[in-house]
Amino acid sequence: MFSLQNKIIVAAIAGMFLILGGAVILSGQSMAEPFNQGPKKCAECHKAEFQIWEETKHAKSFKKVHKSKLAKALAKATGNKSMKKNETCVQCHYTLVAKDAASAAKAKPKAGPSCESCHGASSDWFTIHNNRAEPKDERIVAATAAGMRWSFDRYGIAENCNECHGLANANIDPEKLAIMLENGHPAKPDWEYVKYSQGSIRHRFYPPDMTKNAEMTPAEMSRAFVVGQAAKLVSATIAISRSGSPKFIEFQQARAEAARAALSGVDAAKTLIENPNRENAVALTAAIKDQDLSGTVGGLLPTEFK
């Protein structure tokens, strides 16, 4: 019998590649391109998480990030002086929301980075996720195949964060990424996943106490740190291969070098360091899922969080 983890992997692959008659077929349903429904849709059930999000820079940036002189200059340099209409800027800075599949192609920014920015556009998995009549394991597999990125997808979440915070978003033209960097877009080679995910945006409401926003244990934090560095190394390596800009390559090399240094003492990371790709990063994540690496990377863990 397949484990739940293996079922999820198979479901994700099926959701990506099972095509019939030009439309993706999943669980008997014909699905068009998935679209975001917006954070208020998630708030119908996840009220505590939504309240935390409302106080974050991710949420508050929606009303002000586009107003700075730098933002306007960067938007203009990449094709449209309005950030909210700039196809480069919207990839990371906004949640593009549509009412239905018919209007998905004209989705508009309705919020800053929000629930679906991390967990995937919800149009195809929302109903599956909420169907409590089905066994939980089956819902997890089906929702994963429909594009949901669960909180327990440790690598997927860290990978997603590094895409934007590392100026490495695969949906953005690499030339535009280089233009942004060359024109002063903020760039932090030392950006670190745990420091930024376990501060103001932390929303960990898990059993046995669903009312408590739990802090990570040292063991959990050590694993998250390693997974974050793995995602950083992979995203930087891919970004380097996509660009010809010397300044952009230099920035990504700095990210990659920082990640290699952080992972150098982790035995399970040797294969990834030698060959940084997603497959090896996912394998590393699985290999350390029950390990306490605080003795190995504890000195590198943040003591303050954003």
Task: Give pLDDT tens digits for 210-240.
Answer: 999 999 999 999 999 999 999 999 999 999 9
Let me know: does 182 contact 70? Beta carbons within 8 Å. no
Helix or strand holding residue 51 (H, E)? helix 47-54
User: What's the pLDDT at 5?
Assistant: 55
pLDDT higher than 70, residue 15? no
Dihedral angle sign, alpha carbons of residues 202, 206, 208, 209: positive
Phi, psi for residue 29 in degrees, rounded to 5: -110, 140
Q: Supply the pTM of this predicted model.
A: 0.90
In the three-class reduction of DSSP (H, G, I as helix; E, B as strand; rest coil), residue 31 is classed as: strand
Over residues 171-197, the mean pLDDT reads 97
Residue 25 or residue 58, greater confidence: 58
Tokens 């089956």 belong to: 138
Q: How many CA atoms lie within 13 A of 234 on its CB side?
A: 27
Encode pLDDT of 78-113 as tens digits: 999 999 999 999 999 999 999 999 999 999 999 999
pLDDT higher than 70, residue 69? yes
Instruction: Report d(CA 156, CA 85) in Å as an integer.
Output: 28
State the chain's mean pLDDT as an integer.
91
Over residues 16-43, the mean pLDDT reads 61
Domain ranges in the chain? 1-31+122-149, 37-119, 151-306
Residue 295's pLDDT band (boundaries 50, 70, 90)? very high
Residue 32's pLDDT band (boundaries 50, 70, 90)? confident
Residue 16's pLDDT band (boundaries 50, 70, 90)? very low
Tokens representing 179? 């233009």
Tokens representing 29? 């349903």
User: What's the pLDDT at 285?
Assistant: 98
Instruction: Report d(CA 258, CA 263) in Å as an integer.
Output: 9
Residue 128's pLDDT band (boundaries 50, 70, 90)? very high
In the three-class reduction of DSSP (H, G, I as helix; E, B as strand; rest coil), residue 256 is classed as: helix
User: What's the pLDDT at 19?
Assistant: 28
pLDDT higher than 70, residue 67? yes
pLDDT higher than 90, residue 66? yes
CA distances in angstroms from 161 to 1, 91, 284, 291, listed in the order given: 33, 12, 18, 23
Instruction: Report d(CA 106, CA 97) in Å as an integer.
Output: 9
Instruction: Report d(CA 272, CA 70) in Å as an integer.
Output: 37
Between 12-16, 42-46, 180-184, 256-260, the lowest mean confidence (pLDDT) is in 12-16
Burial label, 283 (beta-carbon count in 10 A; 0-12, 13-18, 19+)? middle
Instruction: Report d(CA 270, CA 204) in Å as an integer.
Output: 30
User: What's the pLDDT at 4?
Assistant: 53
Instruction: Report d(CA 192, CA 94) in Å as an integer.
Output: 21
Dihedral angle sign, alpha carbons of residues 182, 261, 300, 219: positive
Instruction: Report d(CA 242, CA 105) in Å as an integer.
Output: 26
